[in-house]
């Protein structure tokens, strides 16, 4: 089932999220889930690196194992990171997709969807899918 992560009909940013299978650490009872973000830019101008990606969920305890995304802040469930790879420019009019991701640590495996995804200050729209059920 797909869920909207923002309600802006004319959003210039799109962030579709695919969630991996959750796994639990028996020593800490924390749950881990891989989050894969597919970012697209529908503005009239390219968005060149570096650019920031921000997300938030109060149930998140931390992130690890990020790819194509350098975590710069984690505080109270808010994650901010920077995309810096030279190939990761977001072309105008949705001409390409840039994949970023990380593993989120949470105490609540049923509450892992971010409240929002924001790219360089622009709220994104998108869908949530599960890679494995």
Query: Domains in the chain, start-ordered, CATH in brackets?
Result: 13-130 (2.60.40.290)
Angle at Cα 69 formed by Cα 63 and Cα 74, nearest 5°? Answer: 35
- What confidence tens digit (pLDDT) does each residue in 47-102 have? 999 999 999 999 999 998 999 999 999 998 999 999 999 999 999 999 999 999 99
Whole-model pTM: value is: 0.86
Residue 102 confidence (pLDDT): 94
Residue 94, φ and ψ in degrees, nearest 5: 70, 30
CA distance 25 to 14: 32
Query: Is the pLDDT score of 2 beyond 60?
Result: no
Residue 3 confidence (pLDDT): 39
């Amino acid at each position: 089932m797909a869920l909207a992560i923002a309600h802006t009909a004319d959003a210039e940013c799109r962030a579709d999220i695919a969630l991996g299978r959750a796994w639990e650490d028996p020593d800490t009872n924390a749950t881990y889930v891989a989050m894969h973000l597919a970012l697209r830019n529908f503005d009239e101008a390219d968005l060149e690196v570096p650019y920031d990606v921000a997300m938030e969920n109060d149930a998140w305890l931390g992130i690890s194992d990020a790819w194509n995304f350098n975590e710069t802040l984690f505080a109270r469930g808010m994650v901010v990171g920077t995309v810096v790879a030279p190939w990761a420019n977001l072309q105008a009019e949705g001409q390409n997709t840039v994949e970023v991701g990380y593993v989120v640590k949470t105490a609540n495996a049923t509450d892992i969807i971010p409240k929002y995804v924001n790219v360089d200050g622009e709220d994104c729209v998108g869908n949530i899918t599960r890679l494995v059920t």
